[in-house]
Amino acid sequence: MAATGRSGFCPFVTGTLGLGSFLMRVISCIVTEHNLWLVLLAALMCVTGCWVTIGLLDRVRKTVGVQMRGWLFLTAVAAGSSIWCTHFIAMLAYQPGAPITFDPALTMISLVLAIAGTGAGFGLALDKSRGLAPEWGGCLVGLAISAMHYTGMMAYHVAGIVEWDARYVVASLLIAVAFSALAIGQAMRRPYRWSHYLGIGLLVLAIVGLHFTAMAAVAVTPLSFITTGTNPDILEAMAVAVAVVGLIVAATGFASYLIDERGRLESFERLQHLALNDALTGLANRVSFNDRLDHEIEREDEETMTAVIVIDLDRFKEINDLRGHAAGDQALKIIARRLAKLAGDGEFVARLGGDEFAAIKRFKDQNELLGLVSRLEKSLFQPLRIDDFEIVTGASIGVAVHPRDGADRERLVSNADLAMYRAKNDVTRAVCFYESAMDETARARRALATDLRQAIERGELSLHYQVQTSVQTGATCGYEALLRWTHPVHGMVPPAEFIPIAEENGSILAIGEWVLRTACRQAASWDNGHKIAVNLSPVQFAHADLAKLVHQILVETGLSPRRLELELTESTIVADKVRTLHVLRQIKALGVTIAIDDFGTGYSSLDTLRSFPFDKIKLDRSFMADVERSPQAKAIIRAVLTLGRSLDIPVLAEGVETHVQLTILQIEGCNEAQGYFLGRPKPIDQILLTGMAAAVALAEIDQSAA
Ligand code: C2E
Ligand code: MG
Ligand code: MG
């Protein structure tokens, strides 16, 4: 076909192509038909572009939503423009031996094709729902590179006859598509550690391979009569300008990548700092404390030991309550600063939470440990100045040493805690070292306290009932509800053991409510109209709105208030007299009766009687135990009975175990009695039998007295 000054696909050369001759042709095309300096510049452009592209593609892969779309756009621009620049510079490097010109419109279209096509390819590669999405996306990128190249070729006008070898054209397309698919596959899947670099290399091969194979497909026979074309010097300058612009675009993409990377690193470091340090004081937190302790234990040799020192501030709550939380925070910061300052080599301090701090010390000689402990103690007892006031918080310090006091971290910290609690309860000492004999009892108690919290939900609590009998007639007056806890491991735990624990940890509130509700519900189902007596703890008076609760439960269970008797001990009244008496009056106003329990054991029994119109005096069982032997005990019983009569309060004697004791009570004119002789505390289904036994016993006493 005659030359028209435009490149054309004429005529096609076809036939088979061996690999050797193929490579020879491509290499000779590069070496003989190109300006090698510009080829080198194109190669530099290509490698830089691919390096930036694969880096940016990694961001696309790791982000979602708008961020992902932003990165995708940037990647497409960087990839498309650097591919186009590579092509353009390489075209300028091509020396067909005839003048050349460029069609500006087609040149621009080739740039748009490169950006849009690679963008579409990367977008497709992201589709996680398709198994081979990266490879398909890569194919599309390969096609985009090819489309860009051949459109660019159409824009390249050479003054000569252009012949095309179809075999090289097909080979160029295959190379572009195959290598792009492999490159994007590596970049998106990253199966190997060096996949990133493999992806870059494969993409370079796709672009360079396509370009030079496609150039090898072209043979130009110059037409000597056409001499007009772009000046070669200008072409060279254009190549450099394009390279500079292309590199700027790639560098912009790379700079965004770097800025983002730095931002990520900083936020990672910030997160890591937050995760390992306490936000308020900046001291190491519990996580780092645990790590450090594990590490120290691991590093120990035969000569060294590791001590855990647990610190709990004594008067911190006071600062919070009196001066507010800001002052509390300030106090914690000052203390943390002091602790951090005193920690020397091989010593570590942390804030475990709230007003709890801890230290770790690896040591050879016990004196080294004592040194740190005394420095800590001194620092913690130094006054704190916050705004215009000064306070000494003081602290309780517990120490446990590995391996002597615990084989692992958890045991060690828990034992240091036990020692710290002992220090807290001892007014004479601020520091306690773990001592198994003393602290194990506390541990058992703590374990019991934990179990007790779940006792209600697990259905481990039950009520036993003990009959209260009229001494004169033998008739049943009522029953006292007594709480029982069947522990899954320890079996029956006596109330004298677990009620103080429940009072300490506050679970008595829920337990007491459960007892009251259960006792009232069961009593309401009896048709004999007997009273039910329920014990109350001082804690219930202090914390719960007891009168409201009693009223609520009576309404809920339908028990008549007359049938409910609440028992409290003198210590309850002593604990907070004003409040307790106020609550008692409210309860009494409901129609519920109030009994004073264990009477005679408190230190102000008479004053207690004066303070409130009780409905019953329950004489403590210790007097009954001695009554047969001790005239003094008998005299006290007689005095209390006289007191009761003069105040018009009936007296119930507790702990009646023999019929002699019952006879004495009958003779002395006691009103009611309760004790093993009359009936032991029993589950609900057995109490009727007990009541009958009591009646029989009393009938026998009447007969023998007669
Ligand atoms: P308490 O209120 O003085 O209950 C009487 C205690 O004396 C019961 O012990 C009972 O089993 C025991 N007892 C009864 N008759 C005799 C006897 O003839 N001889 C001897 N030696 N003891 C007798 P328990 O059931 O072990 O309860 C001990 C204490 O635990 C109760 O003393 C009461 O203060 C407290 N308690 C029991 N249940 C509850 C409850 O639901 N709430 C509260 N707050 N305390 C309870
Ligand atoms: Mg009682
Ligand atoms: Mg009692």
CATH code at position 391:
3.30.70.270
Centre of ligand 2 to C-alpha 698, Å, is: 23
* HEC profile of 375-404: HHHHHHCCCEEECCEEECCCEEEEEEEECC
pLDDT of the residue at 624: 94
Centre of ligand 2 to C-alpha 575, Å, is: 18
- C-beta separation of 64 from 126 below 8 A: no
pLDDT of the residue at 290: 95
| CA-534 nearest atom, ligand 1 | 41
Centre of ligand 2 to C-alpha 535, Å, is: 5
pLDDT of the residue at 604: 65
Q: Is residue 8 one of the residues assigned to a domain?
A: no
Q: Is residue 205 one of the residues assigned to a domain?
A: yes
Q: Is residue 546 one of the residues assigned to a domain?
A: yes
Q: What is the dihedral of CA 510, 538, 393, 361, to 10 degrees?
A: -50
Q: What is the dihedral of CA 685, 689, 694, 696, to 10 degrees?
A: 170
Q: Using CB atoms within 10 A of its CB, is residue 13 exposed (0-12), middle (13-18) or buried (19+)?
A: middle
Say whether both 511 and 616 belong to one domain. yes
The set of protein residues with a Cβ atom below 6 angstroms from ligand 1 is 466, 482-483, 494-496, 499, 512, 515, 535-537, 567, 597-598, 621, 654-657, 674-676, 681
| CA-483 nearest atom, ligand 1 | 38
Q: What is the dihedral of CA 566, 568, 573, 578, to 10 degrees?
A: -10
Q: Whose CA is nearest to atom 17 of ligand 1?
A: 655
Ligand nearest to the CA of 495: 1
Ligand nearest to the CA of 618: 3
| CA-466 nearest atom, ligand 1 | 14
pLDDT of the residue at 294: 95
Q: Whose CA is nearest to atom 15 of ligand 1?
A: 675
| CA-503 nearest atom, ligand 1 | 44
Give φ, ψ of 469 to 5 degrees: -120, 145
Say whether both 675 and 613 belong to one domain. yes
Give φ, ψ of 477 to 5 degrees: -95, -35
Q: Is residue 4 one of the residues assigned to a domain?
A: no
> Helices (H) and strands (E) in the chain — how many of each?
25, 22
| CA-657 nearest atom, ligand 1 | 18
- C-beta separation of 78 from 122 below 8 A: no
Q: Whose CA is nearest to atom 37 of ligand 1?
A: 482
DSSP state of 562: G
Centre of ligand 3 to C-alpha 652, Å, is: 10
Mutational pocket test of ligand 1: of 463, 464, 482, 660, the residue with most ligand atoms within 8 Å of the beta carbon:
482
Say whether both 294 and 199 belong to one domain. no
Residue spans of the chain under pLDDT 70: 1-17, 224-232, 604, 688-706
Centre of ligand 3 to C-alpha 44, Å, is: 97
Centre of ligand 3 to C-alpha 653, Å, is: 9
Centre of ligand 1 to C-alpha 482, Å, is: 6
Residue 326 to residue 579: CA distance in whole angstroms = 32
| CA-463 nearest atom, ligand 1 | 41
Q: Is residue 658 one of the residues assigned to a domain?
A: yes
Residue ending a domain, among 232, 265, 298, is 265
Confidence (pTM): 0.56
Say whether both 261 and 290 belong to one domain. no
Residue 586 to residue 584: CA distance in whole angstroms = 5
Say whether both 386 and 527 belong to one domain. no
Say whether both 73 and 160 belong to one domain. yes
Q: What is the CATH number of the domain that holds 540?
A: 3.20.20.450
| CA-464 nearest atom, ligand 1 | 25
Print the domain residue range for 408: 286-435
Residue ending a domain, among 236, 265, 294, is 265
Q: Residue 24 contacts by C-beta under 8 Å, 6 or more apart in sequence?
A: none
Centre of ligand 1 to C-alpha 370, Å, is: 47
Mutational pocket test of ligand 1: of 535, 570, 617, 624, the residue with most ligand atoms within 8 Å of the beta carbon:
535
Q: Whose CA is nearest to atom 19 of ligand 1?
A: 655
Say whether both 36 and 96 belong to one domain. yes
Residue ending a domain, among 230, 265, 300, is 265
Instruction: Give the residue from 570, 576, 624, 631 showing the smallest Cα distance to 602.
Output: 570
Ligand nearest to the CA of 537: 1
Centre of ligand 3 to C-alpha 478, Å, is: 15
Q: Is residue 278 one of the residues assigned to a domain?
A: no
Say whether both 411 and 468 belong to one domain. no
Q: Is residue 3 one of the residues assigned to a domain?
A: no
Ligand nearest to the CA of 512: 1
Residue 655 to residue 96: CA distance in whole angstroms = 123
Q: Whose CA is nearest to atom 27 of ligand 1?
A: 495
Matching residue, tokens 């770097």: 258
Preceding peptide of 383 cis, ω within 30°? no
Q: Is 95 helix (H, G, I), strand (E, B) or coil?
A: coil
Centre of ligand 2 to C-alpha 664, Å, is: 22
Say whether both 429 and 496 belong to one domain. no
Instruction: Give the residue from 529, 485, 523 showing the smallest Cα distance to 684.
Output: 523
Say whether both 259 and 369 belong to one domain. no
Q: Whose CA is nearest to atom 12 of ligand 1?
A: 655
Ligand nearest to the CA of 513: 1
Q: What one-letter code names the amino acid at 46?
A: C
Ligand nearest to the CA of 599: 3
Counting the structural domains of the chain, the total is: 3
Q: Is residue 447 one of the residues assigned to a domain?
A: no
Centre of ligand 2 to C-alpha 94, Å, is: 109
Centre of ligand 3 to C-alpha 654, Å, is: 6
- How many residues are given for the chain? 706
* Count of beta carbons in the 10 Å neighbourhood of residue 615: 15
What is the chain's Cα-based Rg? 47
Locate the DSSP E strands across 131-278. Answer: 156-158, 160-165, 218-222
Q: Whose CA is nearest to atom 10 of ligand 1?
A: 681
- Which element (helix H / strand E) includes 330? helix 325-342
Say whether both 408 and 546 belong to one domain. no
Centre of ligand 2 to C-alpha 617, Å, is: 11
Say whether both 318 and 236 belong to one domain. no
